[in-house]
Amino acid sequence: MKTTFLKTAFISLSMLTVSSCSSDNENTSDEVIIDPPTQSDPLTTKNVTGYIVDANATKETVALFYNLKKLAKTKTAIGQQDAFNSFYLDAGGDSDIKKSTGFDPAVLGSDFMFITDKNNNNQSGNWFFQQEQKIINDTKAAYAKGMINTFCWHLREPNKEESFYVSDMTTEQKTTAFKSILPGGANHEWYKKKLDKIASVVSNLKAANGELIPIIFRPFHEFDGSWFWWGASFCTPEEYKKGYQFTVDYLKNTKGVHNILYAFSPDNSYTTESNYLSRYPGDKYVDILGMDNYGDFDNKGQSGANTANSKLKIVSDLAKTKVKIAALTETGYRVTESIVPVKDWFSVYLYGALTSNTIEVSYVLFWNNNKDGYYVPNGSVSNSGDFNTFSKKTKSALVNSLPKMYELPK
């Protein structure tokens, strides 16, 4: 299970802070782009729009889908949530990954949470609007560097809009919240307004040359757990699918947003393909098959890494069959003053989980660092060497070893 208190700590803290094999050591940059199709991957530059959720996606978004799918054959892109704004010990400056390795991450994680907050009044003096502007600027900066942008959404529940954790809700609120945002529900119009805000932001994410910046969006993540109000205990599989499908259809068709890839990401509770797909909204609605997994890596050594790899194998095999992208959409082991690093956590356990058994995982995202702890070393701590070793392995990629993600190969 996800250690949810860590997210709580981060969100509270961020509010307070802002307001007051030898070859494995080589960092190669050459990518093998496989085109025309092979038996294991029918995807080509000619047919890519037949596999992507949005057949009208911008050319940069289509290229991102194609290149992420092909990247996984040779590399896993390494990323971090809030990499440009959340630092261990609030050190500031370059991303902690860059402090540690000399290069920025390949993936930047962001959140629509503050952007859609009820207190965001779109005024320059408003703290939430300032966070929105910061996230937009970070997304643009990441794109300009050639990085990949992914967004989650810790959407506050529709009653008081104060929390996304069911621990802060009444029994009635828990049982009715998700149902209420579905078509015909009491809070459906409220939910549409939240999506309107996302559509407005994403439709205006423009790069220096005027093109729209593609993002990955993974709504209602970790839904197999019961800590969020969209969790498995609070809606049926059909209700969950309906909510996910509406979200995609509304953004894509009603609002005309065409620079999004859509990610589906349960937590790590599943052990079979059928478990994994129990709330799957369908191939027409999903570009990226993900998994969030902290628990299997929680100081469980090789046994935990093997368990994580077996689950990633399910995701990877499904992605091959369905011609989707596989990703480890969140993970990490948080180090604090009282929790010491696990020896070889990055270079042995995580790397093995990402690469064993011929799996193809396009990217891995670590959660954010903050004042009191870190998921990624910043260069000044004891496990920085382990992370550096991990980042230089053959199948690891920071931004410096990514191909051009927003151009289809000739």
Per-residue pLDDT tens, the chain, 410 aa: give them: 444 334 444 344 343 333 333 334 444 444 444 456 666 789 999 999 999 999 999 999 999 999 999 999 999 999 999 999 999 999 999 999 999 999 999 999 999 999 999 999 999 999 999 999 999 999 999 999 999 999 999 999 999 999 999 999 999 999 999 999 999 999 999 999 999 999 999 999 999 999 999 999 999 999 999 999 999 999 999 999 999 999 999 999 999 999 999 999 999 999 999 999 999 999 999 999 999 999 999 999 999 999 999 999 999 999 999 999 999 999 999 999 999 999 999 999 999 999 999 999 999 999 999 999 999 999 999 999 999 999 999 999 999 999 999 999 98
Copy the structure tokens of residue 373: 């702890």
- Of 143, 14, 151, give the one whose Cα is nearest residue 85: 14
Cα–Cα distance between 223 and 166 in angstroms, integer?
Answer: 12
pTM: 0.92
Kindly name the residue from 189, 330, 337, 407 that is annotated as catalytic: 330
Is 330 an active-site residue?
Answer: yes
The pLDDT value given to residue 20: 31
Do the Cβ atoms of 367 and 293 come closer than 8 Å? no
- Of 114, 113, 89, 109, give the one whose Cα is nearest residue 99: 89
The pLDDT value given to residue 37: 67
Copy the structure tokens of residue 283: 């191939």
Residues 6+ positions from 51 with CB-CB distance below 8 Å: 43, 65, 323, 324
Do the Cβ atoms of 263 and 329 come closer than 8 Å? yes
Dihedral pair phi/psi, residue 400, rounded to 5°: -70, -20
Q: What is the pLDDT of residues 127-182, one digit of tens each?
A: 999 999 999 999 999 999 999 999 999 999 999 999 999 999 999 999 999 999 99
- Residue 278: C-alpha distances to residues 267, 269, 272, 299, 373 (Å): 13, 12, 10, 29, 35
For β-strands 363-366 and 396-397, DSSP reports them as unpaired
Kindly name the residue from 31, 60, 157, 222 that is annotated as catalytic: 222
Dihedral pair phi/psi, residue 335, rounded to 5°: -105, 135
Residue 92 is classified by DSSP as -
The pLDDT value given to residue 131: 98
DSSP code per residue over 111-172: ESTTTT-TT--S-TT-HHHHHHHHHHHHHHHHHHTT-EEEEE--PPPTTT-S-SBGGGS-HH
The pLDDT value given to residue 2: 43
Is 239 an active-site residue?
Answer: no
**CATH numbers and ranges of domains, the chain:** 4-20+42-401 (3.20.20.80)
Residue 240 is classified by DSSP as H
Beta bridge partners of 38: 41
- Residue 268: C-alpha distances to residues 278, 291, 313, 371 (Å): 13, 6, 12, 27
Do the Cβ atoms of 105 and 83 come closer than 8 Å? yes
Dihedral pair phi/psi, residue 109, rounded to 5°: -95, 135
Strand intervals (E) in 98-228? 107-111, 148-152, 215-217
